[in-house]
Amino acid sequence: IWGTSTSSFQIEGAAAEGGRVPSVWDTFCRIPGKVVNGDHGDIACDHYHRYREDIALMKQLGFRYYRFSVAWPRIIPAPGVVNEEGVEFYSRLLDEVEQAGLTPMLTLFHWDLPQWLQDMGGWTNREVLEHFRLYASTLMDRFGHRISWWNTINEPYCASILGYGTGEHAPGHQNWYEAFTAAHHLLICHGIAMDLHREKGLSGQIGITLNMEHVDAASASDEDIAAAARRDGFLNRWFAEPVFHGRYPEDMIAWYGEHVRGMDFVQEGDLERIHQPGDFLGINYYARCVVKAAANDSLLQLEQIKFTEPVTDLGWEIHPDSLYKLLKHVEQNYTKGLPIFITENGAAMKDELVEGEVQDTGRQQYIHDHLAACHRFIQEGGQLKGYYVWSFLDNFEWAFGYSKRFGIIYVDYATQQRTPKQSAHWMSRVIAANALEQ
Ligand code: IFM
């Protein structure tokens, strides 16, 4: 399965159209210093108005699978209220997707929580569960017959840890107890979506997407190895273990101590609900992480080694072999034969439009090498079933605003003109051949 991936807030724009209400990201963007250049999602890639053109471009390049997310604030603008105009937008989008012969993967939550929910405490308030139930149930009722791939939650780590712990993402809080509470509620929402899908007798496949890293210790010292285990526990195991094993990692609960207050946010039945691996695991992979122990005041008491090359424009180390290692590890420890999808992989690069072309050789090489890592895993019997490149369009890269370009399509934000980059033409050939060329 060769696909491409986007998310609602990052591309749609039309922030105040079609009955959409503000999301936490609309609010966060307005706080000075939170987003580079004070960028926001009001217009973004104007996909809300240009979706026909965008889908046509996907088709033209030969993509057959498209992963996108729905904006919760377009569907549920106030507690208990369904906005038909929002539903109709996605219905028209799906018409286009279907006519182009593309198979959609619909992500229920990719970080744009309605601001009205944040005003009630957002992901830290357990009431979010019932509001999510109405939202997810509405989408399944309206689109259940048209969607064969459902993604429940995209990267619960980011919405919880970055949103409520480090404060880098909306809503920008810095409180570890809130972060772990939010993470738990996000995971329960995965379980709620799984329950709804089953209760409604839908035939499509459903699964969660986790952002995962292969973690290496900077040295063979006991301290560094323990630091690597903590990073793995923080980013990977805290999310994968509840979904696949029905428990939180004991070593991390002990390490977090007061920050999880005896895990008092976990109620009876929660872990059973979360413990639903579903039909597949989506993995978003970008870089590996190398850490060393450090007696600093960080939560994990470690330092991440910064590499100067090879890195992407975000400074993320390019290390495709770690994707192979991660896939092996995930299959052995979690999925055990359940299908895996790379639901995101790609690179931010300093692209320039010169005489109508973008020569993004670095991105092409990045994708090539990561596909080669996937191929190696598959050849050894690994159950990797698909690859969705991140991203189709240059878009709003969260706290980095529009300063970082991830697309295989260049977007000129002043004119909204789309230009397929060299990597897009190359991917088009890979898809047509169903094989990697050099
Ligand atoms: O742009 C994001 C996306 O929204 C979630 N996964 C990582 C991407 C690159 O940072």
Report which protein residue has its CA nearest ligand 1's atom 9.
397
Distance from residue 397's CA to the centre of ligand 1 (Å): 7
Q: To test the ligand 1 pocket, which listed residue (283, 398, 400) has its Cβ within 8 A of the most ligand atoms?
A: 398
Cα separation, 73 vs 115, in Å, equals 8
Distance from residue 437's CA to the centre of ligand 1 (Å): 26
Cα separation, 228 vs 269, in Å, equals 31
438 residues of the chain, pLDDT tens digit each: 999 999 999 999 999 999 999 999 999 999 999 999 999 999 999 999 999 999 999 999 999 999 999 999 999 999 999 999 999 999 999 999 999 999 999 999 999 999 999 999 999 999 999 999 999 999 999 999 999 999 999 999 999 999 999 999 999 999 999 999 999 999 999 999 999 999 999 999 999 999 999 999 999 999 999 999 999 999 999 999 999 999 999 999 999 999 999 999 999 999 999 999 999 999 999 999 999 999 999 999 999 999 989 999 999 999 999 999 999 999 999 999 999 999 999 999 999 999 999 999 999 999 999 999 999 999 999 999 999 999 999 999 999 999 999 999 999 999 999 999 999 999 999 999 999 975
Cα separation, 199 vs 189, in Å, equals 15
Sheet containing strand 215-217, edge to edge, reads 215-217, 289-293, 302-304
pLDDT at 419: 98
Q: Which of 61, 57, 97, 101 is nearest to 432 (CA)?
A: 61
Name the catalytic one among 96, 155, 241, 331.
155
Query: How far does Cα 334 stand from its chain's mean position?
Result: 19
- 359-363: which pairs have CB atoms within 8 A and are 24 or more residues apart? 359/421, 359/422, 360/408, 360/421, 360/422, 360/423, 361/422, 362/312, 363/408, 363/421, 363/423
Pocket lined around ligand 1, Cβ cut-off 6 Å: 7, 10, 155, 284, 344, 390, 397, 406
- Whether 84 is catalytic is no
Query: For residue 22, is the peptide bond before it cis, meaning its omega torsion is within 30 degrees of 0?
Result: no
Burial status of residue 298 (CB atoms within 10 A of its CB: 0-12, 13-18, 19 or more): exposed
Q: Which of 155, 388, 385 is nearest to 279 (CA)?
A: 385
Cα separation, 187 vs 189, in Å, equals 5
Q: Which two tokens stand for residue 382?
A: 């690994």
Contact 407, 401 (CB under 8 A): no
pLDDT at 438: 58
Q: Which of 386, 419, 413, 414 is nearest to 397 (CA)?
A: 413
- Whether 85 is catalytic is no
Distance from residue 190's CA to the centre of ligand 1 (Å): 19
Nearest-atom number in ligand 1 for the CA of 391 is 1
- Can you say whether the dihedral through the CA atoms of 261, 265, 266, 268 is positive or negative? positive
Contact 313, 350 (CB under 8 A): yes
pLDDT at 341: 98
Distance from residue 53's CA to the centre of ligand 1 (Å): 23
Contact 398, 169 (CB under 8 A): yes
Please enumerate in sequence order all residues whose Cβ is within 8 A of that of 119, keeping only pairs 6 or more positions apart, or say none.
none
